[in-house]
Structure formats: C-alpha cells, structure tokens
Amino acid sequence: MQRIGLILSAIIIIQGNLYSEITGDYILKKIDEIRKVGDSFAFEMEISSFSDESTLVDKYTIQGYVKIDKDQNVKTLVYFTDPKIIRGRKMLMEGNNVWILFPRTRNIIRLSPLQVLLGEVSNCDIAKISFSVDYNAEIIGEEVIDGKELYKLLLKVKEGREGCTYSEIILMVEKKTFIPVAAEFYTGAGKLIKKVWYDKVKEIYGKLRPMRITLYDGINPEKFTIMEYKKIKKLSIPDFYFNKEYLPRFTPPSLD
C-alpha cells in the first residue's frame, strides 16, 4: 500500500514537471538552443535589402565571429567580404556598443546603433543570439499556419536589459521542434518596427535551424531585407579578438 502511494506521488510529480516545463520561458530556452551553435562559433551570411519585391538596393556578405560568455553576453566580430568597395570593413558589436574600422584607415570609430543599419537589419538582429537572457515570455495562444501547429508567445523585455532589445515581441514557434516561424517586433509605445519570417530549415550540428530570416519594415512592408546563413562553423575564438583595439589586426579565420 505504501509502495502504491509512492508510485502515485512519483507519477504526480513527473506529470507536474512535464506540465510546468511547457512555459513561455521554457520555449525561449529551447529556441535559444537552436539559435546558438555553441559558445564560440562563426558564420557567413548574405544580407540583401530590397526597396520592393523586384528592386535590390544593397547586398552584403559578412563573416561573423561570435563568443558568448557565462553571463550569456554576446560579442560579435563582423568582417565584410562583399561588395568589393567595402571589403575589409570590420565591426565589433557588444550589445548597443558598436565599433567600426573602415578599410585603409586606422581610426576605430564608435557608432550609435542607428548608424549600423543594413537595410532593415540592425546590429541587434546580427548580434543577438539569446532571447531568454533579455525577455520573459508567456504563451498567449496557439495557431495553425500551413499545417504547422504553433505556439504564440508574448516576449516582454526584462528590467535592466533594455539596451539592445525590442520592447515587445510576438513570436510564433513550431510546437514540435521549437523552431521560430515568425515574429513581430514592437517599440515600448506599441508601434510595429518589423515583421520577421524564419525559413529554410537545415540540420546543422545535429539540430534543425532556420537559415533564412526575412525582415519586413513595420511602416512600409514593401521594404524588406533577407539575412541568409551560408555557413556556420564551431570555432574556438580567443577573448582578445573582441577587444576593440584588436580590430586593425583582425584577419578573419577561414570558415571552410
């Protein structure tokens, strides 16, 4: 009798744990596992911005070198490889702090976040890897889009993490895989900044990850920018590479 009681209470605890696991914050952590390949990795990305469906305004190819410390702060070193006229441009991003070194110059310049925009892409879109560090999430609904069952999450920025973030995000996540499908980014005043679609899911280092992110302007939805990962590689990167004074010396390690 005592044994049956123990088994029953164990079942209740397990069920309770299972139920409590599927929270907004739990889903965010799962999404973060998909978004980050490791604590130190590199990628090659193409960024194409369009003024409308048929007009390409700019196209950049960048290599990014990412390091995430134990407090989940992300530092990203970006090297522009294309177009040729800006090849060699280097950028260091750490939250809202951005430093740039232009090719054939020696002065490291600090930039305000607005100066970093490439089409609809901000420094945060490139450098932010983790949602769970900056946001609290709650499930506000469930939807079915294209036959996929999705969670609808409301992300609100945590106190003290207002730097390189959007105030609110509505995020649609696939129930089975926790792969993000779409998002809407809002200001504190509730103004829509951009709409985002995630697609081209591919298996990288044992996990399915969306390789293409399309960002639509919140005011003029005709304007959009596509960020597409071409390569992702785990890479050990020394800490001092993320020192702004290192920018002139930085030569991008190979991604092949």
Residues that bind another protein (CB under 8 A): 51, 55, 57-58, 75, 82-85, 87, 96-98, 102, 104-107, 110-115, 117, 238-246, 249, 251, 253
Name the minimum Å distance from CB 57 to another protein. Answer: 6
Name the minimum Å distance from CB 95 to another protein. Answer: 9
Query: Rounded CA gap, 78 and 118, in Å?
Result: 13
When the beta carbons of 23 and 243 are compared against another protein, the nearer one is: 243
When the beta carbons of 116 and 173 are compared against another protein, the nearer one is: 116
Name the minimum Å distance from CB 242 to another protein. Answer: 4
Name the minimum Å distance from CB 97 to another protein. Answer: 6
When the beta carbons of 3 and 84 are compared against another protein, the nearer one is: 84
Ranges of beta strands (E only) in the chain are: 40-52, 55-68, 74-82, 90-94, 97-101, 109-111, 135-145, 148-157, 168-174, 180-186, 192-204, 207-217, 224-234
Which candidate, 226, 40, 37, 35, places its Cα nearest to that of 131?
35
When the beta carbons of 20 and 107 are compared against another protein, the nearer one is: 107
Query: Rounded CA gap, 92 and 75, in Å?
Result: 7
